[in-house]
Amino acid sequence: MKKGTLGILLKTLPFLGVRFGIYMATAIAAMLWLGLLLLISNAVKSPQVGIILFLIGFAGVFGIVKAVGHFVLYFLKAAHIAVISEYLTTGYMPEKGQLQYGIEKVKSNIGVATSVAVLDVLIRGAVRQVLRIFNTIGAVLSIIPGASFIIRIFNLIIETACNYIDECILGYIFVNKRNNPELNTWKASADGIVLYAQNWKAIGVGAVKTVLMLWVLKVVLFIVAAVLFTSSLNMGFFGILFIGLIVWSLNKSLIDPLATVSMAKAYFAAVEQNPVPTVDLYEKVTNSSSKFRKILENAGSSSDNMAQPTNI
């Protein structure tokens, strides 16, 4: 039996633990490296040379850690949404071996980490382009005097929700290929994007709920962080930095996945009611989005090669 958003997330505790561990490991590694750079900089007699070495070392390692972390986390997030989407559409949740189950789903349907990253980046870019095409509410509201504040809030909500739609479409790929294993992954992602455009108003209601929940949780986390910072002023720079990194890790490993589950619920509920991408909309998205055309190009497909409805 399906549960609420938090209940579904808590059923995937193994993923939450690994995600938190990765972020914390990254944070600790960054702190250790920062400490080493400070020691080296202080050991150099020339302050100017010390500062230059510090900045070069910091920028270099930051770039490497960010690149590696992105690939690992892209893959892990894809495995996580594979398990979540399976549960949302079938009610099945592996109680043991969730990580292995999700990883195998990603490997068999998408491939290695680099493939996941490339696919996700293109999906995210296409979704943002689609949003600009179909988001006409701002234009309608703009004719109302004094509506600029409402428009800014609305656009902020939509932009925030966009950060999680790409994972929903990855989930759609897993669901679609479960029912049709021979389906091209790129074609499935194109279908998922068109279905987002086709159902964006229904999904938008869920997006508003998701973003409001997200803001409330981030405010609570900010208050907790402020209390911790205030009580740790005597701990020095590294103590304060460590607390900041813990808060950052909690935000990325707990609050963001909760928002993903909430958006996935809205996405799959909307697609279930309207599961077939229309030819006209497929062509409109193709003509309007360069990222979407790249996805179709990778699929070896065209806008008139329509997908079949998915049984979700």
pLDDT at 70 over 50: yes
**Cβ(134)–Cβ(158) below 8 Å:** no
Average pLDDT for the chain: 84
**What is the rounded distance in angstroms from the CA atom of residue 11 to the CA atom of residue 65?**
29
In-domain check, residue 20: yes
Higher-confidence residue of 54 and 248: namely: 248
Average pLDDT over residues 167-175: 95
pLDDT of 261? 96
Query: In degrees, to the nearest 5, what angle opens at C-alpha 171 toward C-alphas 303 and 192?
Result: 15
pLDDT at 236 over 80: no
Q: Which of 302, 207, 202 is nearest to 263 (CA)?
A: 207
Q: What is the pLDDT of residues 97-150, one digit of tens each?
A: 899 999 999 999 888 767 888 899 999 999 988 887 766 556 665 666 666 777
Convert 207-238 into a string of H (helix), E (strand) and C (coil).
HHHHHHHHHHHHHHHHHHHHHHHHHCHHHHHH
In-domain check, residue 312: no
In-domain check, residue 304: no
Q: How confident is the model at residue 1 (pLDDT cuts 50, 70, 90)?
A: very low
This prediction's pTM: 0.86
pLDDT at 311 over 60: no
Give the whole-number percent of the chain exceeding pLDDT 90: 39
Least confident of 22-36, 78-92, 172-186, 298-312: 298-312
pLDDT of 159? 82
In-domain check, residue 272: yes
pLDDT at 71 over 70: yes
**What is the rounded distance in angstroms from the CA atom of residue 75 to the CA atom of residue 170?**
11
Total tally of structural domains belonging to the chain? 1
Average pLDDT over residues 255-259: 95
Higher-confidence residue of 155 and 169: namely: 169
pLDDT at 242 over 50: yes
Q: How confident is the model at residue 195 (pLDDT cuts 50, 70, 90)?
A: very high
In-domain check, residue 256: yes
In-domain check, residue 251: yes
Two tokens at 20? Answer: 């938190």
Average pLDDT over residues 277-291: 90
In-domain check, residue 14: yes
Average pLDDT over residues 260-287: 92
pLDDT at 93 over 80: yes
Q: What is the pLDDT of residues 17-65, one digit of tens each?
A: 999 998 888 888 877 877 777 787 777 767 776 677 767 766 766 776 6
In the block, tokens 């607390």 appear at: 243
First-to-last C-alpha distance (Å) of the chain: 16
Question: By residue range, what is the domain housing residue 66?
Answer: 5-299
In-domain check, residue 127: yes
b/e per residue, 58-82, with b = 16+ CB within 10 A?
beebeeebeeeeeeebbbbbbbbbb
